[in-house]
């Protein structure tokens, strides 16, 4: 379990040879490359597989979030959006943006899950604690850094989900030529905030829930423990990240031209949404977010635990 005690490495180990005491060379403080690759690889692969299963719900979520932009009015529910997509764009529209989504999942997911444990170890060495606040801080840092690196892929994915006729490479060229290379980091602030909130709530909740369930119930390490912990993590992370996710989507989809620009930044976007569309507009697509994030969280953690076991790594 991630929350176990972690002792700092020993600098050297004395070895007695005859009457003389000889100091061993410093042992390797870093794990072998193969272990590092397995650590990040299992994380990225589990997130990618979960993303492939839940991607249609992500497309519906984006379409729901882009309803009635800048105005109040009746909203179409997830079923209505689904039927609208089927009638106008066909079944393939549910997999718009799948290529960049999977690419981002491997990179972002691998970094987000993979950096959580090393970050927590660093905090433990620095402060001598792995309490829930350390877990939250570790998740926030891992999520924010991962998103800063992979934001261009997320921008392309969101654009493709709104444009059924675009291709990934062509979309990148169009964004760079018309809006500049900086447009690939559009919405990076809210995206980092969302990723920090998501990773902190998701991983810290999963970590703490596992610890509490093992301590206070008869559940042991295995599928049922992973399932229960991931369900709780999915609910908590959805409630926390839904408003930030909606703001991030709005910013990524607006054009760079000042004449058509609606929002100056994340705070301005949130303010205008609340003022013109009402506070509940921050949870537009909220059910779709939960319908996607809930199963995705469960699939990700259950798969990651299994893959780590197969790779000979310790449990999360």
Tokens of 37: 């690759």
pLDDT at position 316 is 75
Angle between helices 223-253 and 188-216 (to 10 degrees): 170
Answer for the pair 69, 246: CB distance below 8 angstroms, yes or no: no
pLDDT at position 96 is 87
- Strands, E, within the chain: which ranges? 14-17, 20-23
pTM over 0.75: no
Answer for the pair 50, 102: CB distance below 8 angstroms, yes or no: no
**What are the average pLDDT values for consecutive 10-residue runs of the chain, which has 316 residues?**
47 44 49 81 92 89 72 70 89 88 88 90 86 91 93 87 82 90 88 88 92 92 92 90 82 63 83 88 78 86 90 80
pLDDT at position 10 is 45
Helices (H), 76-187: 78-88, 98-104, 110-127, 132-162, 168-179
pLDDT at position 210 is 93
């Amino acid at each position: 379990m991630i929350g176990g005690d972690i002792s700092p490495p020993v600098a050297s180990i004395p070895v007695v040879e005859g009457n003389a005491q000889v100091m061993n060379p410093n042992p390797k403080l870093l794990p072998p490359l193969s272990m590092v690759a397995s650590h990040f690889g299992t994380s990225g692969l589990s997130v990618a597989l979960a993303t492939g299963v839940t991607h249609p719900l992500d497309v519906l979520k984006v379409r729901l979030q882009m309803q009635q932009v800048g105005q109040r009015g009746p909203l179409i529910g997830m079923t209505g959006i689904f039927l609208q997509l089927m009638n106008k764009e066909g079944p393939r529209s549910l997999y718009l943006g799948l290529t960049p989504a999977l690419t981002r999942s491997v990179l972002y997911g691998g970094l987000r899950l993979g950096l959580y444990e090393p970050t927590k170890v660093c905090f433990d060495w620095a402060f001598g604690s792995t309490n829930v606040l350390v877990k939250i801080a570790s998740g926030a840092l891992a999520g924010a850094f991962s998103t800063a690196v992979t934001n261009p892929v997320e921008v392309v994915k969101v654009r493709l989900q709104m444009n059924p006729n675009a291709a990934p490479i062509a979309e990148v060229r169009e964004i760079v030529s018309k809006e500049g290379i900086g447009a690939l980091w559009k919405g990076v602030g809210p995206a980092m905030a969302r990723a920090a909130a998501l990773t902190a709530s998701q991983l810290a909740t999963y970590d703490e829930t596992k610890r509490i369930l093992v301590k206070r119930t008869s559940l042991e390490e295995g599928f049922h423990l992973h399932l229960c912990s991931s369900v709780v993590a999915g609910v908590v992370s959805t409630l926390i990240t839904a408003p930030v996710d909606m703001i991030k989507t709005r910013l990524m989809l607006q054009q760079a031209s000042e004449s058509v620009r609606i929002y100056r930044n994340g705070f301005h976007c949130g303010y205008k949404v609340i003022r013109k569309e009402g506070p509940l507009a921050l949870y537009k697509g909220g059910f779709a977010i939960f319908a996607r994030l809930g199963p995705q969280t469960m699939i990700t953690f259950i798969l990651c635990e299994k893959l780590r076991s197969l790779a000979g790594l310790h449990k999360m």
